[in-house]
């Protein structure tokens, strides 16, 4: 097995790797590539770099793409320049090709999508720019990946941390997957937004399918991401501490597509869906590590049956500083958005949380599967909830929108539902599949000894340990493809894990 991994590392992109096969229900550590790619200027870095923050998608051909970022500790800042405030990171992908004869997946192709060696803002001080926290979705038989290219706050003039929203489309060409970035250099995506600030919100984007494409329409996706308008950790004029802890963000939406000529047209200006979202107080409530503020997540909705208007679900978080309380007043906002005559508006909204019961509510995630929802607008939601430094609870529910009844919670059979009272569960991820047979699950990252990734299945009313490690693991991500007839459903689970004896994370994959 080890010799197979080493052989892969010297293969050029697009080379098949049939000797590395992932069977269903098996766990697989995704190997990294290192060095400079032969015949190119593609620099992967050292083999001992850490990899984390994975996202995963399954396309209509059963192929799987895992996107993640890795840390480049081998690259230093330019001579005479300020030191980077955070390590440089790059966005990588691994593509697994489905083999229907063996019902397995071959690690077929690895690509460097977001290299640190590009500077689209033409900085006078920073030639290396970190790329991080990618998101990937399937669009028919294609994939769409989006990520943030984030400039460093230590560089003069960049105290607010300007960022560039970048993307690429990935499509099978008959022999390998092609990377479409409008013929840009390797490791640089197409610029979707060159003018947004991310100092504390991190600018983490989330993509959502709007149109898979047809004979008359181009495949189209939306990307929702936070732009920070008020910073709280430093004085907004001098950029020196202390700040007033007041943070405001806008949630922007940008629409992008891929033409039949495999060109990504310049997108229209982003739309501010929600303005002045608050995140006051500490950036990490109660000492919990915070990857960013607001953290939007989206899920596809039903197209309007008459107008075919785009619809999608959106969720995000807010934290209010409560005078006299040590617990922030956290709120989760769930909304259903629709585009009518070119204008976006909400069909419904619901807020989790109220001022009379203070809790930290964080990291909401959504899942929907409109293809098998029988015309209903259904969505599953999960988020973390805590009112002390101790255990974190998980809220996991299903909601429905009806034009007459509005937005309301789906009532499951009494006694069913995920209950983790007394345990410490974080980063929940819902999986909302087809309704017949019922596929409703939630996966959680359980702190403990050992660390575990657990899955609760509503239909079976049971909890299954998907992965356990005494060395450290977490941050699950899931993707789903509904089967039909004798063809089973596919569920891809990606996570980060430290192997025995190693101090850094790698990305793992399992397919059920």
Confidence class for position 389, pLDDT limits 50, 70, 90: low
pLDDT, greater one: 400 or 320 = 400
For residue 407, the tally of other CB atoms under 10 A from its CB is 18
pLDDT, greater one: 291 or 486 = 486
pLDDT, greater one: 32 or 2 = 32
Round to whole Å and give the CA distance between 145 and 137. Answer: 7
Confidence class for position 494, pLDDT limits 50, 70, 90: very high
Contact 446, 24 (CB under 8 A): no
Confidence class for position 307, pLDDT limits 50, 70, 90: confident
pLDDT of amino acid 3: 30
pLDDT of amino acid 1: 30
Least confident piece of the model among 285-299, 461-475, 487-501: 285-299
pLDDT of amino acid 18: 43
pLDDT of amino acid 127: 87
Least confident piece of the model among 35-39, 114-118, 205-209, 345-349: 35-39
pLDDT of amino acid 283: 74
Round to whole Å and give the CA distance between 87 and 73. Answer: 6
Round to whole Å and give the CA distance between 66 and 180. Answer: 17
Look up residue 24 and give its two tokens: 């269903």
Q: Where are the domains of the chain?
A: 279-478
Confidence class for position 291, pLDDT limits 50, 70, 90: low
Confidence class for position 5, pLDDT limits 50, 70, 90: very low
Look at the block and give the residue holding tokens 């996706």: 221
Look at the block and give the residue holding tokens 């709280």: 232
Q: What are the DSSP E strand ranges found in 325-424?
A: 329-340, 343-352, 360-367, 377-386, 393-402, 406-409
DSSP state of 286: G
347: region left, alpha or beta (phi > 0 left; psi from -120 to 50 alpha): alpha
pLDDT of amino acid 345: 97
Average pLDDT over residues 189-210: 96
pLDDT of amino acid 390: 57
Confidence class for position 8, pLDDT limits 50, 70, 90: very low
Contact 10, 32 (CB under 8 A): no
Within 8 A by CB and 6+ apart from 446, the residues are: 420, 423, 424, 425, 452, 453, 454
Contact 381, 396 (CB under 8 A): yes
First to last CA, the chain: 22
pLDDT of amino acid 11: 40
Task: Answer whether residue 142 shows pLDDT above 80.
Answer: yes
Three-state DSSP state, 70: strand
Average pLDDT over residues 66-75: 96
pLDDT of amino acid 41: 83
Round to whole Å and give the CA distance between 438 and 507. Answer: 29
Confidence class for position 457, pLDDT limits 50, 70, 90: very high
DSSP state of 186: T
If we measure between CA atoms, which residue out of 319, 315, 332 comes closest to residue 366?
A: 315
Look up residue 161 and give its two tokens: 């941390």
Task: Answer whether residue 143 shows pLDDT above 50.
Answer: yes
Task: Answer whether residue 451 shows pLDDT above 50.
Answer: yes
Cα–Cα distances in angstroms (integers) from residue 185 to residues 25, 188, 346, in the given order: 38, 6, 39
Triad 210, 216, 218: Cα angle to 5°: 40
* pLDDT tens figures, 208-217: 999 999 999 9
Round to whole Å and give the CA distance between 32 and 38. Answer: 16
Look up residue 315 and give its two tokens: 């969720």
Confidence class for position 170, pLDDT limits 50, 70, 90: very high
Confidence class for position 290, pLDDT limits 50, 70, 90: low
Within 8 A by CB and 6+ apart from 217, the residues are: 211
* pLDDT tens figures, 45-70: 999 999 999 999 999 999 999 999 99
Round to whole Å and give the CA distance between 125 and 157. Answer: 9
B/e letters for 51-69, b = 16+ CB within 10 Å, e = fewer, are bbbbbbbbbeebbbbbbbb
pLDDT, greater one: 486 or 379 = 379
Q: Pairing relation of β-strands 88-99 and 329-340? A: unpaired
List, in sequence order, every residue forming a beta bridge with 28; answer none if it has no partner: 509
Round to whole Å and give the CA distance between 295 and 283. Answer: 12
Look up residue 391 and give its two tokens: 């255990």
Task: Answer whether residue 285 shows pLDDT above 90.
Answer: no
List, in sequence order, every residue forming a beta bridge with 494; answer none if it has no partner: 477, 509
Task: Answer whether residue 92 shows pLDDT above 80.
Answer: yes
SS3 content of the chain, % helix, strand, coil (to 5): 5, 50, 50
If we measure between CA atoms, which residue out of 13, 22, 66 comes closest to residue 173?
A: 13
Look up residue 212 and give its two tokens: 């898979």
Average pLDDT over residues 478-486: 89
Average pLDDT for the chain: 90
Round to whole Å and give the CA distance between 458 and 448. Answer: 24
Helix (H) / strand (E) element for 451: namely strand 451-457
Round to whole Å and give the CA distance between 484 and 162. Answer: 46
Tell me the Cα Rg of the chain: 22
Q: What are the DSSP E strand ranges found in 59-216?
A: 64-72, 88-99, 104-114, 130-139, 142-150, 162-172, 177-180, 190-197, 206-211
Look up residue 247 and give its two tokens: 């943070």
Triad 138, 34, 202: Cα angle to 5°: 50
């Amino acid at each position: 097995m080890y010799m197979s991994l080493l052989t892969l590392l010297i293969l050029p992109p697009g080379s098949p790797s049939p000797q590395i096969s992932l069977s269903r229900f098996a766990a697989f550590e995704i190997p990294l590539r290192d060095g400079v790619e032969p015949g190119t200027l593609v620099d992967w870095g050292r083999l001992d770099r850490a990899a984390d923050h994975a996202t995963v998608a399954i396309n209509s051909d059963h192929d799987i793409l895992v996107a993640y970022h890795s840390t480049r500790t081998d690259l230093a800042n330019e001579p005479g320049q300020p030191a980077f405030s955070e390590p440089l990171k790059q966005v990588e992908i691994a593509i697994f090709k489905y083999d229907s004869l063996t019902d397995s997946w071959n690690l077929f192709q690895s690509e460097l999508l977001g290299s640190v060696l590009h500077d689209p803002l033409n900085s006078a001080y920073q030639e290396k720019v970190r790329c991080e926290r990618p998101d990937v979705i399937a669009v028919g038989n294609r994939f769409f990946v989006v990520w943030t290219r984030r400039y460093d706050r230590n560089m003069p003039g960049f105290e607010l941390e300007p960022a560039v929203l970048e993307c690429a489309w990935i499509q099978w060409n008959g022999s390998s997957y092609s990377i479409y970035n409008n013929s840009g250099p390797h490791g640089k995506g197409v610029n979707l937004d060159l003018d947004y600030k991310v100092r504390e919100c991190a600018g983490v984007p989330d993509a959502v399918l709007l149109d898979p494409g047809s004979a008359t329409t181009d495949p189209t996706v939306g990307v929702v991401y936070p732009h920070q308008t008020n910073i709280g950790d430093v004085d907004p004029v001098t950029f020196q501490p202390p700040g007033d802890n007041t943070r405001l963000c806008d949630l922007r939406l940008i629409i992008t597509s891929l033409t039949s000529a495999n060109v990504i047209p310049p997108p229209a200006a982003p739309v501010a869906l929600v303005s002045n979202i608050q995140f006051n107080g500490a950036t990490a409530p109660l000492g919990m590590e915070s990857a960013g503020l607001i953290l939007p997540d989206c899920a596809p909705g039903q197209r309007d049956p008459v107008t075919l208007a785009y619809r999608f679900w959106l969720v995000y978080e807010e934290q209010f500083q409560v005078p006299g309380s040590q617990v922030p007043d956290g709120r989760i906002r769930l909304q259903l958005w629709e585009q009518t005559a070119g204008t976006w508006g909400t069909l419904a909204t619901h807020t989790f949380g109220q001022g009379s019961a203070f809790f930290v509510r964080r990291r909401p995630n959504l899942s929907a599967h409109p293809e098998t929802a029988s015309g209903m607008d259904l969505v599953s939601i999960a988020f973390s909830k805590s009112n002390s430094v101790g255990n974190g609870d998980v809220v996991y529910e299903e909601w429905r929108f009806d034009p007459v009844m509005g937005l309301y919670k789906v009532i499951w059979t009494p006694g069913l539902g995920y209950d983790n009272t007394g345990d410490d569960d974080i980063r929940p991820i819902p999986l909302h599949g087809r309704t017949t047979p019922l596929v409703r699950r939630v996966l959680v990252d359980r702190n403990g000894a050992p660390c575990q990734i657990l899955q609760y299945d509503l239909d079976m009313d049971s909890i299954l340990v998907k992965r356990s490690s005494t060395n450290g693991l977490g941050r699950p991500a899931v993707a789903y493809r509904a089967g039909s007839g004798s063809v089973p459903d596919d569920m891809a689970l990606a996570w980060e894990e430290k192997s025995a004896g190693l101090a850094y994370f790698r990305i793992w994959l399992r397919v059920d």
